[in-house]
Amino acid sequence: MFILNPNSGTALGKYADVVEKTIRSFAKKYGTDATILFTKERAHATELVAENLTARNWQAVVAVGGDGTVNEIAKPLVGTNTPVGILPMGSGNGLARHLGIPLKLEASLKRLFEGTATTMDSGQLNEIPFFCTAGMGFDAYVGHLFSQQIERGLATYVNVSFQAYWSYKPQHFRLNGLDTNAFSLSIANAGQFGNNAWIAPEASLQDGLLDICTIKPFPKWYGTALAYQLFTRQMKSSKYIDYQSITHAVIETDIPPMIHYDGEPFQMDTTRIEVRIKPQSLKVIL
Ligand SMILES: Nc1ncnc2c1ncn2[C@@H]1O[C@H](COP(=O)(O)OP(=O)(O)OP(=O)(O)O)[C@@H](O)[C@H]1O
């Protein structure tokens, strides 16, 4: 079962018919068939999976889109034997990039049809599952601003981040009871946000651990160096970042925070957030 989000990235909406034809031709070539469904709105992918999951013994449910689409599709597959597949067509494609899934449609289809299922960890912020990264602070603020843009894609993301950067002020958090001021507090299951922005270059999807990455307040002029470290997998060498590997953590905030899960912004209605890992909880085709 393939679920396409025509709102993902910049190309999928325009070329959905080409994508659909290519999927069907690969399915035929590999001696199987493809059920292709389109999402109509936010959260619809989760409904489509739930409605159709028991209809057949699916080889995989494939997210055709970005990290938000993977999240919506993987959520109901946690703890089941049905693997998720990914054809990365989003703006950031963090999970697909971490997993080394090719970004070109034909290459990712070849990998999908020739791949095998393996298990990976997933994380939770209270009851909200995530698979790639989640967090609060600057990343969530940017996620929120990005979701309000008409155009998606990398250029919009860079533009939104750059504008938000100048006015953004670090916030107060309590992490496991310890007070901290942070520019951002990211929780990494996979190593990157997307677009090869490696917040936790050493993160593993199979180690039963989440990495909490706290970026401490830094002078504005240092932003370029931090961005360089982010895109060259050198964040570990920065004096402004702290890492903690955890299976469980409690984050408290002064007011209910805006968070993001896999890049999707969400306004919490509580100031207490429990972070948990669900080891080996999702099957994924690689
Ligand atoms: N038919 C639709 N119309 C509008 N929005 C949709 C539709 N289907 C899904 N969505 C929403 O589109 C948003 C973006 O999806 P997705 O995250 O896959 O793409 P992206 O943000 O471009 O990529 P990435 O997360 O990799 O940066 C999600 O919030 C999703 O719920």
Per the CB < 8 A criterion, the answer to whether 282 and 157 are in contact is no
Q: 194 CB under 6 A from ligand 1?
A: yes
DSSP-derived letter for residue 96 is H
Summarize the confidence of residues 129-155 as an average pLDDT: 92
Q: Point out the domain boundary residue: 115, 137, 163.
A: 115
User: What's the CA gap between 199 and 215, in Å, rounded?
Assistant: 10
pLDDT at 100: 98
User: What's the CA gap between 12 and 152, in Å, rounded?
Assistant: 11
Q: 69 CB under 6 A from ligand 1?
A: yes
Per the CB < 8 A criterion, the answer to whether 259 and 137 are in contact is no
Is residue 12 over pLDDT 90? Answer: no
- Nearest by Cα to 216 from 246, 180, 251, 187: 180
pLDDT at 153: 81
List Cα–Cα distances, 58 to 49, 108, 152, in angstroms. 11, 19, 31
Ligand 1 centroid distance, CA of 282 (Å): 21
Cα 172 versus chain centre, distance? 24
User: What's the CA gap between 110 and 85, in Å, rounded?
Assistant: 12
DSSP-derived letter for residue 10 is T
Per the CB < 8 A criterion, the answer to whether 124 and 130 are in contact is yes
Ligand 1 centroid distance, CA of 91 (Å): 9
Same-domain pairing of 198 and 261: yes
Tokens 């989000």 sit at which residue?
5
pLDDT digits 0-9 by tens, 54-113: 999 999 999 999 999 999 999 999 999 999 999 999 999 999 999 999 999 999 999 999
pLDDT at 141: 94
Per the CB < 8 A criterion, the answer to whether 264 and 43 are in contact is no
Index of the ligand 1 atom closest to the CA of residue 93 = 26
Q: Is residue 286 part of a domain?
A: no
Same-domain pairing of 77 and 149: no
- Provide the mean pLDDT of the chain: 96
CATH of the domain at 59: 3.40.50.10330
Index of the ligand 1 atom closest to the CA of residue 90 = 23
The count of domains in the chain is 2
Ligand 1 centroid distance, CA of 42 (Å): 7
Cα 68 versus chain centre, distance? 6
Q: Point out the domain boundary residue: 115, 137, 154.
A: 115
Q: Extract the tokens encoding 185.
A: 């507090």
Same-domain pairing of 138 and 107: no
